[in-house]
Structure 1
Amino acid sequence: MVILNVDLASEIPIYQQLRDQIVEAIADGVLTKGSSLPATRTLAADFGINFHTVNKAYDLLRQQGLIQLNRKTGAVVTSTVADPPLPAEWTARARTLLAEAVARGLPADEVLKTCRSVLDSFGTTPPEDTP
């Protein structure tokens, strides 16, 4: 079972917080292929938010191929492996995060070390640099 939290005071939209936490739960192995997510109305009621906000998060996950939405079964995790190449949207998000690191003056080796550490926390092994 995944525990989701929202920060109502955050600058990050609630739907994005939900989407990101579900993606992290998939990466962590907490949610696996076939795992059911809470119904949109249930999750919305739990957080005291509009159910359209949860719908938006679920729809983003559906568009990205991570969940399947069905009237009978609800939201179900469909994939834990990205089959197609990384979408342009992901690359743009990564570019923005890396640009922020550069703008703040973080050294490239520290950024790469952090990226590897985060990947390792998900149980993945990033490819080693080849000369």
Structure 2
Amino acid sequence: MFINLDFESKEPIYVQLIHQIIEGIAKGKIQPGEALPSVRSLAADIGINLHTVNKAYQHLKQEGFILIHRQKGVVVNPEGVPEADDAYRDQLKSKLHPLIAESICRKVSEQEFSELCSQLFTEFNEGKGGK
């Protein structure tokens, strides 16, 4: 797997793991229905506590990115990630709120912020093969 954690980062390991798995799905590196490593296996492979992996997997399950089966193990949701609804859009807005506030404080213009977002969307779409 393509997981690359920064153990020196202020961002918790489980959050980094969540972000990297979601990024893998977004870029098409991990396909719907594809199996992910077991909690124990992934923890051993990247040298972290299995409770950290379990916490990340539980969050991803709760958000609809993965399914956890007793027999099949961990798989990316075969039906794909649930589409954005009003609750997701509200959550997105609350996450963007402090980023925009800090950007304004740091004199990042609305245009520059929008361009950064566009660049990231392009990056993800290119990583997915232009889909």
Do both proteins adopt the same fold according to a TM-score greater than 0.5, normalized to the shorter chain?
yes
Give the aligned partner of residue 91 of structure 1: 93
2:92 aligned counterpart, secondary structure: helix
What corresponds to 1:82 in structure 2? 83
Q: TM-score, normalised by structure 1?
A: 0.85
Q: Please, which moves more after superposition, 87-96 or 50-59?
A: 87-96
What RMSD, in angstroms, separates the aligned Cα atoms of the two structures? 1.7
3-state SS, counterpart of residue 57 of structure 2: helix
Q: Give, in whole Å, the separation in 1 of the partners of 2:31 and 2:82.
A: 10
Richer in helix (by share): 2
Worse-matched range after superposition: 12-21 or 102-111: 102-111
Higher relative contact order (CA 8 A, sep 6+): 2
> Offset of 1:36 from its aligned partner?
1.1
Q: What runs of 5+ residues in structure 1 fail to find an aligned partner?
A: 125-131
Q: Do structure 1's residue 110 and structure 2's residue 112 form an aligned pair?
A: yes
Structure 2 matches for 1:14-29, cutoff 5 A?
Answer: 14-29=13-28
The answer (yes or no) to whether the contact 1:35–1:76 under 8 Å persists in 2 is yes
Matched-pair identity in %? 38
* 5+ long unaligned stretches in structure 2: 127-131
Cα deviation for residue 51 of structure 1 reads: 0.3
Contact 1:31 1:77 in 2 (8 A): yes
